Structure 1
Amino acid sequence: MSTVSWLNSEAFTAFGQHILWSDMIGNVMGLLALALGWRRSIWTWPAQFLSGLILIAAYSSAHLSGGVGKQLLVIVVALWGWRQWQRGKRQAQDGSVAIRFGSWRERGLLIGGTALGTLAVGGLFVAVPDLSWNPWPDAYIFVGTLAAMVAQARGLVEFWFAWLLVDVVGVPLAFSGGLAFSGFVYVIYLALVLWGMRDWWLRSRRAGAMALEGAAA
């Protein structure tokens, strides 16, 4: 049995849902990556890279081309994010990655880029039905994931909001596509996203207050 065949074999059954090894292992790695991102650890990027690599097998088995494309993006952006954080352009004095709220221009670019990208990818999926059985949600997750990871690589608090919006669509799509473990994990993602959002929000406000105090001094 090849590695891909084993990854796409059934690990166990829970509540009538067949859980694949690829779906389970890839999503556990994804949870680890999200937790490391919350801690602002640079190891979030290797974890995201491995998660994307394994989940390609899971989404291929469910014939979700948008999901496969999403994981390819995860791999590429994880490499870019690793490089961005290693370069230390946004390093805080304690050695952790500095975080901030995006400017209105950055927010506008993220929202506009996500909307236009979803229209473009969704249009492609509609024109070529074999690419996706559920084109518009699939396209939204594909593009929304890219927007979230780009915002994370830039150290923007808004990346948590982007992940939250992706998860809202990802939960029902994963269950309907037969990726039950992904659906369960998306629910956990929601809790971690809300927790991480609060933490980054408070940290960015403290950093802003300290900067103002320094300028006043």
Structure 2
Amino acid sequence: MEWNAVLEAVSAMGWIEALAVLLALAYVLLAAAESIWCWPAAFVSTSLYLYLCLAANLWAESGLQLFYIVMAVVGWVQWRRRGHRRRQAVPESGHPLSEGEQRPIVQWPLRWHLLIVLANTALTLLIGWLLARYTPAANPYLDSFTTVFSLVTTWMVTQKVLENWLYWIVIDAASIFLYASREFTLTPYLFGLYTLIALAGYLRWRKQYLSHPLA
């Protein structure tokens, strides 16, 4: 796709959608930087997308955006908490974390991820089958996959689970094809950028986790 087509699409975007896209990018970048301000950006962005989806009569997408709004509030509250386990002293300073520091990054056991993948795959197949049988949905199984896994992965972000970024890499890469197949102009590029940011986010969070392990 040529850049003038992209520029034309940008110029045709309403200011609400343009602001929603910018704030969505800000959310991902801030989350990768482990900044708590990612959640206000997510709250405003998803609120704007909720308005746009309702105006377009996209009821399922509206429900997903409403979920994201709730998760933005949950994420803000959770990231302000220290978590239940004290982290070890920072090697360079020798001082333990203060009570005011944010929630630490954690890892979930492999068995939890296996259960998540199995359960969400089963739910994806069920919803995909229902959409394929009873609706004119395009790419029902891929659409179901990105939606179902996005829900649980968003919850993982609120809990600062390191592996959330690995889920997002797969979800965002799948979303590139999903939106490209629907002839979206800008959104495939957006999700391509999301994929790269998710990779960078994982590497940064992993480095942070390894430098400040949980006791």
Instruction: Give your verdict on TM over 0.5.
Output: yes
Flag the 1:43–1:128 CA change in 2: closer, same or farther, 3 A: farther
Q: Label 1:158 to 1:193 Cα distance change in 2 as closer, same or farther (>3 A).
A: same
Match of 1:194 among 179, 196, 199: 199
CA distance in 1, matches of 2:65, 2:190: 16
Residue matched to 1:161 = 166
User: Equivalences for 1:68-217 in 2 at 5 Å?
Assistant: 68-89=62-83, 93=97, 95-130=101-136, 132-208=137-213, 211=215
Aligned-pair CA distance for 1:153? 1.3
TM-aligned CA distance change 1:48 to 1:124, over 3 Å: farther
Question: 137-146 or 19-28: which moved more?
Answer: 19-28
TM-superposed deviation, 1:14: 2.4
75 and 121 in structure 1: CA distance in 2 versus 1, 3 angstrom threshold: farther
Partner AA of 2:104 in structure 1: A
Long gaps (5+) in structure 1: 1-11, 212-217
Give 1 or 2: higher helix fraction.
Answer: 1
Q: TM-score w.r.t. structure 2 length?
A: 0.77
Aligned 8 A contact 1:62 1:177 in 2: no
* TM-aligned CA deviation for residue 80 of structure 1: 2.2
Percent identical pairs in the alignment equals 23
Q: Which amino acid aligns with 1:100?
A: V
1:165 positional shift: 0.8
In structure 2, do the counterparts of structure 1 residues 65 and 121 end up closer, same or farther at CA, with 3 Å as the change threshold? farther
Letter in 1 for 2:48: I
Return the letter of the residue paired with 1:123: W
Equivalent residue for 2:28?
34
- The aligned residue for residue 9 of structure 1 is none
Q: Give the Cα separation in 1 of the matches to 2:159 and 2:148.
A: 17
Question: Is 1:54 paired with 2:59?
Answer: no
Distance 1:58 1:117 in 2: 27
Alignment partners' CA distance in 2, 1:25 and 1:141: 23
Range with greater deviation from structure 2 (81-90 or 57-66): 57-66
Measure, in 2, the Cα distance between the counterparts of 1:177 and 1:30.
21
* Match of residue 37 from structure 2: 43
The aligned amino acid for 2:132 is: V
Answer whether contact 2:146 2:171 (CA < 8 A) is retained: yes
1:185 Cα shift? 1.2
Q: CA contact under 8 A between 1:174 and 1:183: conserved in structure 2?
A: yes
Q: Aligned pairs, how many? A: 198
